């Protein structure tokens, strides 16, 4: 008799009942002299004792600035030590840290500031072509809750820290003593079919345990040094990376503010990193560097690859040439903190490239008929659902949207089509929704479409993902022009998007059409657009 597509990740290690602050305290007490954080670009370093003190200073400064338990504190910055300090300081005082993608432009920033009700924003000064101060100034008048902005590396950051002395350590301890591990502590925005991002709201319990168990499955100890080129604004960086490290007394290594292949390899060599994270495109870029063979990567033993499937040949090279014999594949989504399935240290190449692993400890997964919700037999494709400690509290102030994805049994419906094999390993075979995954970044067509409708030369638009060798998928905009005699060019579309949309959401391909292919019920056949108009 065929087994049902249901699996419960078992394990002998219990869930953590700590808040993030209490868990950090344990690491500080156990490993005070071991390095906790290294920023390679600036050369700054913190032992666990120094890191704990810096977190406490910022926590007291935030309290002195009027940040109360439950207040939303935004962080809009590239990877830097201050990002990590904000993460742990907000957790210490029970504030809700709101991650803002550094690539966001004005209208995206304004939406998040308003929807989350952010009262204090910590921000970088610049990132690539973005002048953060100018962007904030441009939207601040429309965000009544925003009362303070502090720029990292600017005098305003020093002014924030200067007020820390007005709050005593005893007052900080009193605040922290009143916190629960089930309190909301983090909001991460993930786009949806409504066209605007939804704020996945996560607790201490959600993200601390997920980071901890990801680390457990790659056998982290205080001896490990984890190179993190993945962005902190995403769960990959701040949960699987930062919390995975501090919950084991390991060291966080920041190679650069944003991904640079050469900087990553140099950091691994210089800091003798034992673990390296990335999406497949990052590993491909590193392996293809002309100078790749000149770097000493012999200290590596493991790492995490996630975001999209890893080609077999790439995995072979990662294992053989980067010494990452124990590299692990993870699958998840922001709404599940993020990881639900993970390969194990002793899994063979086929499992690492053909599946996304099996259920993590304390996590349930099942594959159901999308129409009926009935659990299917193993080997049959259906919607992957996840249940357990990792499922988000809900979308911030959007109960209706929450009810669309979390059912009465607390199962999170991922929207991904999956097959559970007889051995319990899961294969992702497609997506129910039309999410485009470009280089590890989720792009939601409806959001891009809603924006392009504003273009004066566009009467109608459909956005789809088409296969791309470098990024996995690339963005194609299929457009019906307002005036067929004067259609927009690809350059017009790119320029229109450049100042308002994150770079990874900007269409790279354009097709001008007279009409879209339609179903008999009047819906656009996006599958036909992908098949007929992709490269």
- Give the end of a domain, one of 133, 158, 180: 180
**What is the number of domains present in the chain?**
2
CA–CA dist 207, 238 (Å, integer) = 9
Helix-helix angle 280-287:312-321, to 10 degrees: 60
CATH number of the domain enclosing 496: 3.30.300.30
Q: What is the DSSP letter of 338?
A: S
385, 400, 418 from 376: Cα distances, Å: 12, 27, 11
Residue 523 has pLDDT above 70, yes or no: no
Q: Which of 238-247, 378-387, 459-468, 478-487 has the weakest average pLDDT?
A: 459-468
Closest by CA to 139, choosing from 447, 131, 128, is 131
Residue 195 has pLDDT above 90, yes or no: no
Mean residue pLDDT of the chain comes to 93
Mean pLDDT for the stretch of residues 171-194: 89
**Is residue 81 domain-resident?**
yes
- Give the end of a domain, one of 164, 180, 196: 180
pLDDT at res. 435: 74
Structure tokens at 10: 């078992």
Closest by CA to 102, choosing from 74, 81, 63, 73, is 74
Residue 443 has pLDDT above 50, yes or no: yes
The 10s digit of each residue's pLDDT in 78-103 is: 999 999 999 999 999 999 999 999 98
pLDDT at res. 516: 87
The 10s digit of each residue's pLDDT in 100-130 is: 999 899 999 999 999 999 999 999 998 878 8
CATH number of the domain enclosing 103: 3.40.50.980
The 10s digit of each residue's pLDDT in 464-477 is: 999 888 898 999 99
Which has more pLDDT, 192 or 507? 507
pLDDT at res. 532: 86
CA–CA dist 14, 433 (Å, integer) = 35
Question: In the structure, what pLDDT confidence band is assigned to residue 521 with cuts at 50, 70 and 90?
Answer: very low
Closest by CA to 333, choosing from 362, 300, 307, 304, is 307
Mean pLDDT for the stretch of residues 251-265: 97
**Is residue 185 domain-resident?**
no
Residue 122 CA neighbour count, 13 Å, CB half: 33
pLDDT at res. 526: 83
The 10s digit of each residue's pLDDT in 29-53 is: 999 999 999 999 999 999 999 999 9
pLDDT at res. 390: 98
**Is residue 441 domain-resident?**
yes
Mean pLDDT for the stretch of residues 382-402: 97
Range of the domain at 80: 50-180
Asked if 362 and 213 count as a contact pair (C-beta separation under 8 A), the reply is yes
Question: In the structure, what pLDDT confidence band is assigned to residue 449 with cuts at 50, 70 and 90?
Answer: confident
- How many of the other CB atoms lie within 10 Å of CB of 53? 13
- How many of the other CB atoms lie within 10 Å of CB of 349? 11
**Is residue 517 domain-resident?**
yes
**Ramachandran region, residue 303 (left: φ > 0; alpha: ψ -120 to 50; beta: rest):** left
**Is residue 314 domain-resident?**
no
**Is residue 78 domain-resident?**
yes
**Is residue 469 domain-resident?**
yes
The 10s digit of each residue's pLDDT in 343-357 is: 999 999 999 988 999
Question: In the structure, what pLDDT confidence band is assigned to residue 432 with cuts at 50, 70 and 90?
Answer: confident
Question: In the structure, what pLDDT confidence band is assigned to residue 524 with cuts at 50, 70 and 90?
Answer: confident
**Ramachandran region, residue 237 (left: φ > 0; alpha: ψ -120 to 50; beta: rest):** alpha
Given CA atoms 104, 105, 111, 114 in this order, what sign does their dihedral have?
positive
- In the chain, what is the straight-line distance between the N-terminal and C-terminal CA atoms, in Å? 45
Residue 194 has pLDDT above 60, yes or no: no
**Is residue 453 domain-resident?**
yes
- Give the end of a domain, one of 145, 180, 215: 180
Closest by CA to 164, choosing from 51, 94, 293, 61, is 61
The 10s digit of each residue's pLDDT in 487-503 is: 999 999 999 998 789 99
pLDDT at res. 191: 64
Express as a percent the part of the chain with pLDDT over 90.
Answer: 80
Mean pLDDT for the stretch of residues 132-159: 97
């Amino acid at each position: 008799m065929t087994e049902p597509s249901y699996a419960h990740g078992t394990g002998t290690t219990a869930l953590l009942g700590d808040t993030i602050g209490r868990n950090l305290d344990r690491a500080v007490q156990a490993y005070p002299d071991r390095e906790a954080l290294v920023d390679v670009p600036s050369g700054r370093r913190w032992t666990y004792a120094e890191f704990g003190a810096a977190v406490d200073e910022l926590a007291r400064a935030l309290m002195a600035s009027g940040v109360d338990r439950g207040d939303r504190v935004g962080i809009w910055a590239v990877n830097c030590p201050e990002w990590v300090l904000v993460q742990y300081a907000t957790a210490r005082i029970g504030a809700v840290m709101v991650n803002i993608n550094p690539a966001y432009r004005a209208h995206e920033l304004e939406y998040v500031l308003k929807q989350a009700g952010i009262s204090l924003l910590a921000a970088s000064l610049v990132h690539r072509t973005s002048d953060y101060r100018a962007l904030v100034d441009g939207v601040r008048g429309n965000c009544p809750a925003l009362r303070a902005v502090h720029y990292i590396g600017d005098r305003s950051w020093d002014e924030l820290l200067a007020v820390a002395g007005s709050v005593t350590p005893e007052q900080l301890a009193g605040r922290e003593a009143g916190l629960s591990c089930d309190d909301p502590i983090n909001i991460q925005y993930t786009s949806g079919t409504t066209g605007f991002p939804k704020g996945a709201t996560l607790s201490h319990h959600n993200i601390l345990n997920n980071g901890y168990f990801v680390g457990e499955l790659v056998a982290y100890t205080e001896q490990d040094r984890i190179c993190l080129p993945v962005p902190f604004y995403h769960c990959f960086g701040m949960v699987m990376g930062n919390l995975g490290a501090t919950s084991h007394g390991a060291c966080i290594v920041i190679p650069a503010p944003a991904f640079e292949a050469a900087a990553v390899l140099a950091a691994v060599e210089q800091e003798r990193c034992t673990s390296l994270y990335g999406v497949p495109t990052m590993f491909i870029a590193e392996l293809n560097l002309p100078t790749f063979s000149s770097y000493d990567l012999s200290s590596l033993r493991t790492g995490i690859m996630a975001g999209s499937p890893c080609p077999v040949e790439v995995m072979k090279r990662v294992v053989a040439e980067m010494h990452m014999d124990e590299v692990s594949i993870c699958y998840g989504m922001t709404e599940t903190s993020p990881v639900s399935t993970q390969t194990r240290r002793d899994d063979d190449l086929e499992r690492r490239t053909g599946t996304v692993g099996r259920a993590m400890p304390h996590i349930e997964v099942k594959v159901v008929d999308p129409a009926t919700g009935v659990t299917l037999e193993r080997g049959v494709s259906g919607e992957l659902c996840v249940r357990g400690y990792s499922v988000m509290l809900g979308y911030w102030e959007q109960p209706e949207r929450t009810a669309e994805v979390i059912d009465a049994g607390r199962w999170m419906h991922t929207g991904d089509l999956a097959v559970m094999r007889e051995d319990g390993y899961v294969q992702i075979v497609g997506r129910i929704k039309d999410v485009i995954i470009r280089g590890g970044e989720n792009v939601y067509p409806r959001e891009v479409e809603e924006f392009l409708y504003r273009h004066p030369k566009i009467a109608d638009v459909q956005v789809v993902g088409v296969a791309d060798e470098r990024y996995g998928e690339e963005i194609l905009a299929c457009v019906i022009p307002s005036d067929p005699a004067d259609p927009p060019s690809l350059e017009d579309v790119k320029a229109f998007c450049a100042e308002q949309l994150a770079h990874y959401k900007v269409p790279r391909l354009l097709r001008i059409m007279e009409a879209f292919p339609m179903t008999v019920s009047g819906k656009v056949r996006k599958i036909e657009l992908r098949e007929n108009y992709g490269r």
